[in-house]
């Protein structure tokens, strides 16, 4: 499990043994690219599935089904160009022995996220100072074509409050990485 506030970034490198890997998380292109490259390097590139967003109880339920390993699990894929999630567009194989889950709220000390705690063998929280988060989030919206004032307003009115919630109300992680 890799958790952290919006804009914290994602785990870019990890040691992955020769196994089937499934990646469950939002549509972060940098994370997708880095993890697909890592999987190819480990010789498992053709078996990587990167899913779209699952929220709240839907994500908790999907994670429980994936964790059980009893059957394949259909998950959505986020289509950035259409700005929507396509239901059931990817399958997490029941043969997946390593499942990397990425998301902002995974360690949140509130339901339904408390239900997911038992599903993770290890948790990682990416810690980023608020000032850097603000810079990254404003840059994200500028890169999406928003004007500077609109990008700042969007980051400060939505993303930063969510980031503060995650930073202030998350359960402790096994590992905290400064990012």
Per-residue pLDDT of 7-42, as tens digits, reads 554 443 344 343 455 666 654 555 556 656 655 665
Q: Where are the alpha helices (DSSP H) in 3-129?
A: 29-41, 56-68
Mean pLDDT of 71-81: 75
pLDDT confidence of residue 35:
58
Per-residue pLDDT of 80-128, as tens digits, reads 566 667 777 778 888 777 777 777 888 889 887 888 888 888 888 989 9
DSSP letter for 179, please. -
Mean pLDDT of 124-134: 92
Mean pLDDT of 42-49: 50
pLDDT confidence of residue 16:
38
The residue count for the chain: 179
Q: Which residue has the higher pLDDT, 148 or 94?
A: 148
Interacting residues of 2 by C-beta distance below 8 A, sequence separation 6+:
10, 11, 25, 100, 101, 102, 106, 124, 126
Note the pTM of the prediction, 2 decimals.
0.67
Angle, alpha carbons 18-23-25 (nearest 5°): 160
In whole angstroms, give the CA distance from residue 139 to residue 34: 20
Written as six digits, the tokens of 137 are 């989030």
């Amino acid at each position: 499990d890799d958790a952290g506030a919006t804009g914290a970034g994602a785990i870019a490198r990890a040691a992955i043994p020769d196994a089937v890997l499934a990646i469950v998380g939002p549509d972060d292109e940098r994370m997708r690219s880095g993890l697909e490259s890592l999987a190819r390097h480990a010789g498992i590139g053709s078996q990587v599935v990167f899913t779209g967003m699952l929220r709240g109880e839907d994500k908790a339920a999907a994670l429980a089904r994936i964790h059980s390993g009893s059957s394949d699990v259909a998950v959505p894929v986020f289509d950035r160009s259409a700005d929507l999630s396509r239901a059931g567009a990817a399958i997490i194989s029941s043969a997946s022995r390593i499942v990397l889950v990425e998301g902002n709220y995974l360690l949140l000390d509130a339901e339904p996220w408390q239900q997911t705690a038992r599903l993770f063998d290890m948790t990682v929280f990416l810690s980023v100072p608020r000032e850097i988060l603000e810079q990254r989030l404003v840059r994200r919206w500028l890169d999406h074509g928003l004007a500077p004032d609109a990008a700042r307003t969007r980051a400060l009115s939505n993303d930063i409050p969510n980031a503060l919630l995650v930073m202030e109300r998350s359960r402790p992680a096994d590992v905290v990485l400064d990012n």
